[in-house]
Structure 1
Amino acid sequence: MKKTLITAALLAAGLANAQEVVKIGHSAAVTGPVAYFGKDTENGARMAIEALNARGVSVGGKKVRFELVAEDDGGDPKQATSVAQKLVDARVNGVVGHETSGTTIPASKIYHQAGIPQISPSSTSPKYTQQGFNTAFRVVANDIQLGQALGHYAVRNMGAKRVAVIDDRTAYGQGLAVEFAKGLQQQGAQVVAREFTHDKATDFNAILTKIRASKPDLVFFGGMSAVAGPMLRQMKQLGLNVKMMGGDGICSDEIHKLSGGAMADGQVFCAEAGGVDAAGRAGLDKFRADYKKRFGIDVQINAPYAYDAVMTMAEAMTKAGSTAPASYLPVLAKIQHKGVTGPIAFDARGDIRDGTITLYTFKGGRRTVLAVTK
């Protein structure tokens, strides 16, 4: 009898000390032509999980252990919805992702129906947060801010007057191109050609030949570097020696490799949704150094935003005293988190408040900061 009581006491103590596992889902393309972007955000989320577990976090007076449940959506909208359902079925406490707007938007409906908070570290289409889902958030500026900032910069700082606009017909590429054209025309410049491709295209001779005839002084591309790189190579082959501009989809050092060396210094200009001012640079530089030490590679673009997304979610849980999505969701909506990418707070739609934008060009195949703006 005594032995039974001791065993029962030990079992009770063990249960009391058992850590709750908090599952954070992550989804992005970790295979396919933009896998380097997806792996980047997955790594950033993993760093946050490891930092939280090393620190030791208590929620509602109970120790918890965070676990990353990582899935590959292949950058495909249909696959993204399957992955979203898989994460819901796994009873994740929150989701960081997806990577592209084309995958984030359809997946967001599934998370909303399940009441699971979702923070995208990279999706910029305004449609994502215009659906009225109280579970949808993002930690980067949207395409309205990004596209119009690029349009203004093209005219004011680059002297662009005649611009050809191409997009890849994805939710991201098309949305960004539309907003860029608005910003451009607000400044009095002209869109002299409007062409379309797709996100797996490799041959652009037909559209580039049409564009060359319109004599543009700038080509804007709404899409990803996997398409922009080969496009730059064919622009050079056709003698279309003008500058290219795009959003965060082309704002990676990968574009130089993908162009086969055809990209000249100062030829490509891009903007990243996010960035820090001088006061926050030391923290972001430390993150980049820690990332390289952990994974042996450089940050592409969005790893620090994925890191901040996980940390923001975790802070909402601790403040709510609960890891249950329904309990911490209202706290997340009102959160004020100090992240490595700057202050994080959301507006009524779930967009980041006062989102920053960083403008870049490339020298020696590496990104060089031009300006950080809002």
Structure 2
Amino acid sequence: MTDRRRFLTGSLAVAGLGAVARPALAQVFQGGTAPITNPVQIGLMGPFTGSDRGLGEQMANGVRQALDNANQGASIFQRAVQFRTYDDLDDIGVAQQVAQFAAGDGISAAIGHLRSDTTEFALQTYYQNRLPLIVPTTTADEATGKNYDIVFRLPTNDTLEGRMDALDAANTLKVTAAVVVSQAASYGPAVASGFLQEFNSVKGATATQVLVDLEKPDWSAAAAAIAAHSPQLVYFAGMSQRLGPLLEVLRAAGYKGLFSASQGFWNQTTMEHYAKPAQGLVASTSMPPLALAPQVRFDLDAYQARYGALTPVAAFSYAAAQIVAQAVRNTGGGSRSALRAAIAQGAFNTIVGTFRFTPQGDPLEPNLFFYELREGRWIYRRAARNTGFLIK
């Protein structure tokens, strides 16, 4: 069994913390707050009904707030931007139908989908219709792996996350011996591969891998296999919902070394269920600590006053809408070709940082932010790349 539903996994940690405003229903026109003439129309693809409706609402809240802000600041000579929601039900078949419908529905760009499988399944439809797609939450390498020139992804991809985590382990934690733990799930193998490749390229550093069975994990056997390598660091490339029990087994077996993990551990599950054995664990994520970004303080306060906590899903959806709005302003129009070119060539300041894109559609300057678990709380420690966005 493989889990094809991965996305910005840290967002699961706060999925229920934000106040939810009016729901975004399927294919409903969403207006701005100011009188608008001849607006550019964009689409938001996500789950707006069903069990993941709350996450779809977070996407819609982020996009709505970003566009309201952009439209309020637009002059009478600039075209505003409005969005429509398209409900993919978190289903790959529906996602393709949604993409086909949206491509013929007069929109100039799209934002979505929430997860990797729905995004990947619909990509060819967007490409064939030359409809620019901003991917706000999917970390799967496959989202940009086909080199479609209409796709622009915001979070750092899985393989690169593993590589950047390896450099942090070697250069900041000063580790020379590591074991990478992963499973044969959709999220984890690419992260593990990136970590192993990068860490083993560091002079004097050695990393090995321990695979844990996905269906019938044997935690004692995994702990014994890890101990056989005498690691200074155990790195978890996967989800804490699946691999978390190994934290307790390792500590009970006497392991006293360091723990670090990919974004699949930066969540509420780790905080609530594994706070004691995971004490000191450092996890990476694409989500910056916005309280340390003074230039977005006004936007952050405005969002929180309207909706409550700004979750990672909402934040990256907000950023995606900001990119489209800035591209519309830069081009003065709303054609698909003009927006695609503007996004591909531009630099965009957003609520989660500045973005430029590679020809493949990934961030030109990807970044990760490292948080340490202390006393059941995630405490921000450092960024992989100092861009000036944060004051620390």
1:317 is matched with which residue?
A: 328
CA positional deviation for 1:131: 1.3
In the alignment, which of 300, 304, 307 is matched to residue 295 of structure 1? Answer: 307
More displaced, 309-318 or 268-277?
268-277
For the Cα contact (< 8 Å) 2:134–2:154, is it kept in 1? yes
For 1:131 and 1:299, how far apart are their aligned partners in 2? 31
Aligned-residue RMSD, C-alpha: 3.6
CA positional deviation for 1:319: 2.5
Mark the runs of 5 or more structure 1 residues left unpaired by the alignment: 1-16
For 1:220 and 1:29, how far apart are their aligned partners in 2? 35
CA positional deviation for 1:255: 2.7
For the Cα contact (< 8 Å) 2:182–2:189, is it kept in 1? yes
1:205 maps to 2:208: no
For the Cα contact (< 8 Å) 2:136–2:153, is it kept in 1? yes
| Inter-CA distance 234–108: structure 2 relative to 1 (3 Å threshold) | farther
CA positional deviation for 1:40: 4.7
In the alignment, which of 275, 279, 282 is matched to residue 294 of structure 2? Answer: 282
Matches within 5 A, 1:203-242: 205=219, 208-214=222-228, 215-233=230-248, 235=250, 242=257
Counterpart secondary structure, 1:160: coil
| Inter-CA distance 277–338: structure 2 relative to 1 (3 Å threshold) | same
1:265 maps to 2:279: yes
| Inter-CA distance 55–62: structure 2 relative to 1 (3 Å threshold) | closer
For 1:29 and 1:363, how far apart are their aligned partners in 2? 35
For the Cα contact (< 8 Å) 1:142–1:273, is it kept in 2? no
1:13 is matched with which residue?
A: none
2:17 is matched with which residue?
A: none
CA positional deviation for 1:105: 3.0
| Inter-CA distance 207–91: structure 2 relative to 1 (3 Å threshold) | farther
More displaced, 23-32 or 88-97?
23-32
Q: Counterpart amino acid of 1:45? A: V
Q: Counterpart amino acid of 2:339? A: Y
In the alignment, which of 308, 331, 352 is matched to residue 363 of structure 2? Answer: 352
In the alignment, which of 30, 35, 46 is matched to residue 27 of structure 1? Answer: 46
CA positional deviation for 1:150: 0.9
Mark the runs of 5 or more structure 2 residues left unpaired by the alignment: 1-35, 386-392
Among all aligned residue pairs of Structure 1 and Structure 2, give the percentage whose two residues are the same amino acid: 21
For 1:245 and 1:327, how far apart are their aligned partners in 2? 43
The size of the alignment, in residue pairs, is 348
| Inter-CA distance 235–306: structure 2 relative to 1 (3 Å threshold) | farther
TM (norm. structure 2) is: 0.73
1:368 is matched with which residue?
A: 379
| Inter-CA distance 191–336: structure 2 relative to 1 (3 Å threshold) | closer
Structure 1 runs of 4+ aligned residues shifted over 6 Å read 28-32, 34-38
2:11 is matched with which residue?
A: none
More displaced, 95-104 or 133-142?
95-104
For 2:56 and 2:169, how far apart are their aligned partners in 1? 29
Query: Residue deviations 1:17-65, cap 9 Å, x none?
Result: 8544613213369876x9887665443223213323444576xx57545
Query: Residue deviations 1:265-297, cap 9 Å, x none?
Result: 31x21222364899x71134444443333223x
| Inter-CA distance 355–289: structure 2 relative to 1 (3 Å threshold) | same
Higher relative contact order (CA 8 A, sep 6+): 2
For 2:178 and 2:92, how far apart are their aligned partners in 1? 31
For 1:55 and 1:342, how far apart are their aligned partners in 2? 20
For 1:232 and 1:299, how far apart are their aligned partners in 2? 29
1:124 is matched with which residue?
A: 139
For 2:48 and 2:259, how far apart are their aligned partners in 1? 25
CA positional deviation for 1:179: 0.5
For 1:323 and 1:234, how far apart are their aligned partners in 2? 56
2:31 is matched with which residue?
A: none
Matches within 5 A, 1:328-347: 328-347=339-358
For the Cα contact (< 8 Å) 1:204–1:231, is it kept in 2? no
For the Cα contact (< 8 Å) 1:57–1:65, is it kept in 2? no
2:128 is matched with which residue?
A: 113
| Inter-CA distance 318–265: structure 2 relative to 1 (3 Å threshold) | same
For the Cα contact (< 8 Å) 2:290–2:352, is it kept in 1? no
Q: Which of the pair is proportionally richer in strand? A: 1
1:66 is matched with which residue?
A: 82
For the Cα contact (< 8 Å) 2:210–2:226, is it kept in 1? no
CA positional deviation for 1:312: 0.8
